[in-house]
Structure 1
Amino acid sequence: MTSAHTAPTPALVSDKRLTWVSLVLALGMFITLLDTTIVNIALDRLHVVFDASVTQTQWIATGYLLAFVAVIPVSGWLSERFGARKVWLFAIGAFLVGSLLCGLATTLPELVAFRVLQGVGGGMVMPLTMSIATRAAGPARVHRATTVVALPGLLGPVLGSVLGGAIVEYWSWEWLFFVNVPVCLAALAFGIILLPRNHGVRGHRLDVLGFLLLTPSVVALAYGISQTSGENGFGELSAWLPMVAGVVLLLGFVIHALTTRRDPIVDVRVFVRRSFGVGSLITLMSGFSTYALAFLLPLFYQQIRGESVFHTGLLLIATALGTMFFFIVVRNFAARLDGRVVVAGGVALTMLGTIPFALAGTSGSEILLLIGQFAQGLGFAATTFPVLALALSGLSHGEAPHGSAAFSVVQRVGAPFGIAVVAVILQRLSQDATSLQEGLDAFAGTFWWTLGLSIIPFVLAFFLPQGKAAETDNTSSHG
């Protein structure tokens, strides 16, 4: 049931229009997620360009992450107040301006400031994209729509590594940001034409107390996670103190959201829904396995196998091919199977794809590694698509903006947290390594850790609601 302040339910679009809407949304999602890895792979070069320390240069990534996470909670309210279409276009516009200014930056502080502007735009795009897609499709077609718009989230990081590596090695660092401009312009042009119009509700008030509790909590968590790369990992004061503060604020927000008489900025009650709650937990725990692998593989190829940045990016294409294979060949077959089996099978494939890296040497066996990456990409897709569709299909039209924001918070905090944990494991195992073989042993141990941590989402998959994966398309709007 929608509240008095909820925007009226928009009419569902036709199948043909839904395809075009999904493609436009995917374009916006692709460029904002691509930008994360395309810049991260160039941080080592940028600290030389600006004659800054690694710690100072890291703010290029950290500033973007903090701004990205900070605006996610408020995106649901903005969508209801001003209309999802208008806010999505504004977000793409902010990302476009931020990208242009980043490419024109002449000092590190300027670049960090403009990356924050990029993060403000990028952070709103993901939850708004899912909200628009869910509302335009309706519960009967949500699986189809979310599959199309989620694909860039899986391909962006890999393709970003390839493109970023090529730009760093053969071009100018400014084009790490200028490359966004034509894509953003295309997204704006097609968005103005194709995205369904909806009007905001002037009486929809912002949950100010909820905003003051939730936004600092997720920013503190994200900041604390970003500081775990220090010598003491999670033992660093700058790491554990913000995370503790973030958890306290988050608990305060949950209590507020459950007791307030007004609409909370994020309705935590959606997590009680079995599909949304378990799906969110699987997504959170995937940070320790699938997202951690995206962090480990480039380091493994460059530090242990001696590959260049660009060649590493090319090798990582195998992961993207596995994802596309699921999308093009396997998806329709998987939709006829029990959703729990599909998700559990996806996690199992990811685990199998990790084994060749845990057993790898300093040279040779490249074919086995590529096959392992293909299995990881296939497994990642088989896990992510059904979980995302299942989580969002259980929401009503009125719940879509807040639910999308909540799911995005889980994803954007879970991924870096999982990566941080695995990074600390790698750091602990490699701190006394003085030879290439000892470095290899440290990576092997870390890969075995990711394999073990993958057991958690594997088990959680069997707690999802029973039924064929295709039935997520026919779920009622209330789950």
Structure 2
Amino acid sequence: MTSPLPDRRLTMLSVVLALGALVTLLDTTIVNVALHRLQVEFGSSVADTQWVSTGYLLAFVAVIPLSGWLSERIGARNAWLLAIAVFLIGSALCGVAGTLPELIGFRVVQGLGGGMVVPITMGIMTQAAGPERVERAMLAIALPAALGPILGSVLGGVIVESWDWHWVFLVNVPVCVVALAVGYLVLPRVPGQREQRFDVLGFALLTPGVVAIAFGVSRSSGDGGFAAASAWGPLVAGGVLLALFTLHALRTTGKPLIDVRVFARRSFGVGSLITFMSGFSLYALTLVLPLYYQVVRGESVLATGLLLIPQSVGTMLYFGLIRKFTAHLDGRVVVGGGVVLMMIGVLPFALSGAGGQSLLLIAGQFVLGIGFGASTFPVLSLALAGLSHEEAPRGSAAFSVVQRVGSPLGVAVLATILQSRLNGATTPENAFTTTFWWALAFSAIPLLVVPFLPGRSAASTGESSPAASLRSLEDHS
């Protein structure tokens, strides 16, 4: 891809890439809803069944660092099609699995494909749009990220209550087939760079480091939380490996597996930090809110999924309407306002207990969804708009690593808080109330970093998007 695409072609490309991203992000939530059913079907323990999710997570994060190199080596189009094809094969195999070990193994295959889709999509869209249109192009990432968890809960509930568990995985097959067929026709054909050398030492440091951190986070939900050796041991080992990779990446004369130098830029570095911290607020709430509805309010799995829809509606409203009115505002005002709206959205749950008014809770989720769009979408656009055409593949991989480490870590922290409160609480609602207050506090943390974002209104620069104007300010600072 040597130049940005025309608007119409960019729109078609966005739709195709969003479809691929949605099916991989949707799958995580669908399977989480079905874990209890799988435990019953296979007659297994909770610890063993949990590996259906853990195996996918570890494979997912393991391949993210490879996505940038693979895009350059065989071409971004071929890399994306390969990732979707691997995810398709893994989904089909999961759908015919006869034993729990088979299912876990096939979930690993599925994760190897799914982990590459989002960072490759980021790279393709960044290159295709150019810095002036990157905000519009990033809808291909933002919309699936917002809709995936909620739609997954609804679809998972329908499948678990009405169909056979195999359809939890087989439902991906027709979507992936369509994505492959259309992607083959629509994605720009760009030859790979066969001379690209593989960073062997970087791979030996970075991939085990990211996997160790993901594994440590997954183990923190057990007895002892983060104090358990099975949790803090991998976390420490992963941290050391990531530090060694950073030193290697800064000193190597060739191309490292991911480009850590982009974190030194204000837009990318601060944006990545805000994205990492959002794992402790909104992404953590994707665990707590469904449990609250089911444990405290006694809702079914399907009803819980339906009750979570207002959050996606709020996010869609931001993307479809509110975003246009905020385009000329300072980016710091938009992101800061989004953080405040997220805090307001959590407040009804912190105050509700078991008898909270349903309409107030639904309104809170609606406001939470608007806040999610305003606090995350401009940050994503800002971080990626600062990448050059050549930096896009490996820079997108770096951003994805931050995102995929921050999200499960935040979920694990809030899960640990919830479990500790449940162990000592007389009633479940007290435990959830305390956890929601913690979520509210975590939601406020990004406000400490927002002032460090570069900011200027789009109107003052004559450009069409805040991402472009912020990039322009950074380039001249």
TM-score bracket, normalised by the shorter chain, equals over 0.9
Structure 2 counterpart of 1:444, one-letter code? T
TM-score by length of 1: 0.96
What is the correspondence of 1:392-407 to structure 2 with a 5 Å cutoff? 392-407=384-399
How far did residue 72 of structure 1 move? 0.2
Aligned length: 468
Aligned mates of 1:307, 1:109 — CA distance in 2: 32
Residue 449 of structure 2 aligns to a residue whose secondary structure is helix
Residue 390 of structure 2 aligns to a residue whose secondary structure is coil
Q: Does 1:350 align with 2:342?
A: yes
Residue 123 of structure 2 aligns to a residue whose secondary structure is helix
Residue 456 of structure 2 aligns to a residue whose secondary structure is coil
Match of 1:464 in 2: 453
Aligned mates of 1:336, 1:176 — CA distance in 2: 43
Structure 2 counterpart of 1:247, one-letter code? G
Structure 2 counterpart of 1:375, one-letter code? V
Give structure 1 stretches of 5+ with no counterpart: 1-8
Identity, % of aligned pairs?
A: 62
Aligned mates of 2:341, 2:328 — CA distance in 1: 19
Aligned mates of 2:319, 2:379 — CA distance in 1: 14
Aligned mates of 2:467, 2:160 — CA distance in 1: 43
How far did residue 364 of structure 1 move? 4.4
How far did residue 362 of structure 1 move? 1.3
Aligned mates of 1:148, 1:57 — CA distance in 2: 32
What is the correspondence of 1:272-311 to structure 2 with a 5 Å cutoff? 272-311=264-303
Contact persistence 2:455–2:473 (CA under 8 A): no
Q: Does 1:99 align with 2:88?
A: no
Aligned mates of 1:272, 1:361 — CA distance in 2: 44
Match of 2:433 in 1: 444
How far did residue 361 of structure 1 move? 2.8
TM-score by length of 2: 0.96
Question: 450, 460, 468: which is aligned to 1:473?
Answer: 468
Contact persistence 1:393–1:477 (CA under 8 A): no
Structure 1 residues 308-340: Cα deviation after superposition (integer angstroms, max 9, x where no partner):
001000000011111111111101111111100
Structure 1 residues 366-422: Cα deviation after superposition (integer angstroms, max 9, x where no partner):
000000000111101111110000000000000000110000000001000001011
How far did residue 294 of structure 1 move? 1.1
Question: 340, 344, 355: which is aligned to 1:363?
Answer: 355
Contact persistence 2:118–2:141 (CA under 8 A): no
Q: Does 1:211 align with 2:203?
A: yes
Aligned mates of 1:81, 1:460 — CA distance in 2: 36
How far did residue 476 of structure 1 move? 5.4
Aligned mates of 2:237, 2:195 — CA distance in 1: 33
Residue 431 of structure 1 aligns to a residue whose secondary structure is helix
Change (3 A) 1:477 1:16: farther
Match of 1:6 in 2: none
Match of 2:16 in 1: 24
How far did residue 471 of structure 1 move? 3.3
Match of 1:333 in 2: 325
Aligned mates of 1:476, 1:340 — CA distance in 2: 15
Aligned mates of 1:432, 1:338 — CA distance in 2: 45
Contact persistence 1:30–1:156 (CA under 8 A): yes
Residue 220 of structure 2 aligns to a residue whose secondary structure is helix
Residue 229 of structure 1 aligns to a residue whose secondary structure is coil
Match of 2:238 in 1: 246
Residue 138 of structure 2 aligns to a residue whose secondary structure is helix
How far did residue 456 of structure 1 move? 1.3
Question: 181, 186, 201: which is aligned to 2:173?
Answer: 181
Residue 113 of structure 1 aligns to a residue whose secondary structure is helix
Question: 369, 383, 394: which is aligned to 1:391?
Answer: 383
Residue 205 of structure 1 aligns to a residue whose secondary structure is coil
Q: Does 1:128 align with 2:120?
A: yes
Aligned mates of 1:353, 1:134 — CA distance in 2: 31
Contact persistence 2:330–2:466 (CA under 8 A): no
Contact persistence 2:52–2:107 (CA under 8 A): yes
Structure 1 residues 342-379: Cα deviation after superposition (integer angstroms, max 9, x where no partner):
11111111100001000113134000000000011110
Contact persistence 1:349–1:376 (CA under 8 A): yes
Structure 2 counterpart of 1:68, one-letter code? F
How far did residue 458 of structure 1 move? 1.8
Contact persistence 2:308–2:365 (CA under 8 A): yes
Contact persistence 2:126–2:384 (CA under 8 A): yes
Structure 1 residues 13-47: Cα deviation after superposition (integer angstroms, max 9, x where no partner):
11000000011000000000000001011111111
Residue 52 of structure 1 aligns to a residue whose secondary structure is coil
Contact persistence 1:395–1:477 (CA under 8 A): no
Q: Does 1:260 align with 2:222?
A: no
Aligned mates of 1:297, 1:346 — CA distance in 2: 19
Q: Does 1:145 align with 2:140?
A: no
Structure 1 counterpart of 2:399, one-letter code? F
Structure 1 counterpart of 2:430, one-letter code? D
Residue 41 of structure 1 aligns to a residue whose secondary structure is helix
Q: Does 1:46 align with 2:46?
A: no
Contact persistence 1:353–1:374 (CA under 8 A): yes
Contact persistence 1:23–1:149 (CA under 8 A): no
Contact persistence 1:284–1:414 (CA under 8 A): yes
Structure 2 counterpart of 1:185, one-letter code? V
Match of 2:462 in 1: none
Contact persistence 2:353–2:433 (CA under 8 A): no
How far did residue 140 of structure 1 move? 1.2
Residue 425 of structure 2 aligns to a residue whose secondary structure is coil
Contact persistence 1:344–1:459 (CA under 8 A): no
Contact persistence 1:353–1:373 (CA under 8 A): yes
How far did residue 205 of structure 1 move? 0.2
Give structure 2 stretches of 5+ with no counterpart: 459-464
Match of 2:442 in 1: 453
How far did residue 473 of structure 1 move? 2.8
Aligned mates of 2:457, 2:217 — CA distance in 1: 37
How far did residue 477 of structure 1 move? 12
Contact persistence 1:103–1:178 (CA under 8 A): yes
Change (3 A) 1:257 1:477: farther
Structure 1 residues 149-196: Cα deviation after superposition (integer angstroms, max 9, x where no partner):
321111100000000011001111111111101110110011011111
How far did residue 148 of structure 1 move? 3.3
Structure 2 counterpart of 1:472, one-letter code? A
Structure 1 counterpart of 2:281, one-letter code? S
